[in-house]
Amino acid sequence: MLTYTYIGAHQFQLLDKPLPTLRDPKDAIVRVTLSSICTSDLHIKHGSVPRAVPGITVGHEMVGVVERTGSAVTTLKPGDRVTVNVETFCGGCFFCRRGYVNNCTDPDGGWALGCRIDGGQAEYVRVPHADQGLNRIPDSVSDEQALFVGDILATGFWATRISEITPEDTVLIIGAGPTGLCTLLCAQLKTPEHIIVCERSPERIRFVQAHYPEVIVTTPEHCAETVARYSAHGGADVVIEVAGGKETFRLAWECARPNAIVTVVALYDEPQILPLPDMYGKNLIFKTGGVDGCDCEEILRLIQAGQIDTTPLITHRYPLNRIEEAYRVFENKQDGVIKIAITPAESVRP
């Protein structure tokens, strides 16, 4: 089968590999019907994910149809349409029982798919702990509607959940990339007083203005004054930092009011400075880290109910056999790209 494979730093390649097989009774084999490219795939490509294993098939955002299940899989059967969770988790360890599935202590726990084990930019994928990692897609929800449930939408949902947003709040979201936009959609469900999105790219600012006209948009240069205008207590009540830029962590805590929650979802290329003397007395609450992707069933229910729609984020579509072109567009942010859906390979006629 066709797979997009991490060869080594700065090198991905379309390779033919054998079909995956069941290795554990808890495994399932899923035929991938739609996958996507994530910024984390680019981090692997650029060699900044040391735990990524050369030779693995990349891709950790996908939906598909269950082909086969191991004998210990109880909640799914062949033929089920499913979303695949970016995180593998056992469901039974100390962290899983508390919903902290990102820190599952299973050897495959955490972000394994498309990083330490073969992922979904392929025709088929083996999913360990399938009862936990797969969620059935309701019949009325399309593959495109469900595509981001297991990764960036799970991240946005988790980020807004742990940020404890109330209807009185002014919420500042820093970054309007794909994950920032998913965070925005999930923040809207909490109906805060104001949502302010801070973004540098004129193209992405236009995207937010066109699709979410009720949202206040600002730039890093004007962020502090915009936040001051729309907040009653000297800063945002909740700040969610999704950008991961050079100055965005500083912007996040500076724009927060005293006692605010500052949730840091962003993945930085460099260490960040936490200048405690400067923020002394502000009494901020920082929440950090990688998604606990354990809300996928609820997210699917919200999509089915028409309360979350991420389909406008899919700006481009490419078949698997042309995935190299798709990476070029995504990596260079060409042509107004937000997200790319990778469809099954086209048969190439001689």
CA angle 115, 119, 121 (to 5 degrees): 120
- Cβ proximity to Zn ion: between 96 and 314 the closer is 96
CB of 143 to Zn ion, least distance (A): 18
Task: Considering only the stretches 98-106, 216-224, 231-239, 315-323, report the one whose residues sit in contact with Zn ion under the rule CB under 5 A.
Answer: 98-106
What are residue 256's phi and psi, to 5 degrees? -85, 145
- Cβ proximity to Zn ion: between 93 and 224 the closer is 93
By CB under 5 A, residue 104 contacts Zn ion: yes
- Cβ proximity to Zn ion: between 174 and 182 the closer is 182
CB of 277 to Zn ion, least distance (A): 36
Task: Considering only the stretches 34-42, 214-222, 279-287, 329-337, report the one whose residues sit in contact with Zn ion under the rule CB under 5 A.
Answer: 34-42
By CB under 5 A, residue 96 contacts Zn ion: yes
By CB under 5 A, residue 38 contacts Zn ion: yes
Size of site (CB under 5 A) for Zn ion: 8
Q: Judged by CB under 5 A, which of 93, 224, 329, 345 binds Zn ion? A: 93
97/105 Cα distance (integer angstroms): 11
- Cβ proximity to Zn ion: between 114 and 235 the closer is 114
Nearest-CA neighbor of 219 among 234, 243, 197? 197
- Cβ proximity to Zn ion: between 109 and 192 the closer is 109
Burial 209-227 (b: 16+ CB within 10 A, else e): eeebeebbbbebeebeebb
What DSSP designation does 213 have?
Answer: T
Cα distances (Å, whole numbers) of residue 68 to 111, 127, 307: 22, 11, 32
Return the C-alpha torsion angle 290, 81, 33, 48, nearest 10. 10
The contact set with Zn ion (CB under 5 A) reads 38, 40, 89-90, 93, 96, 104, 151
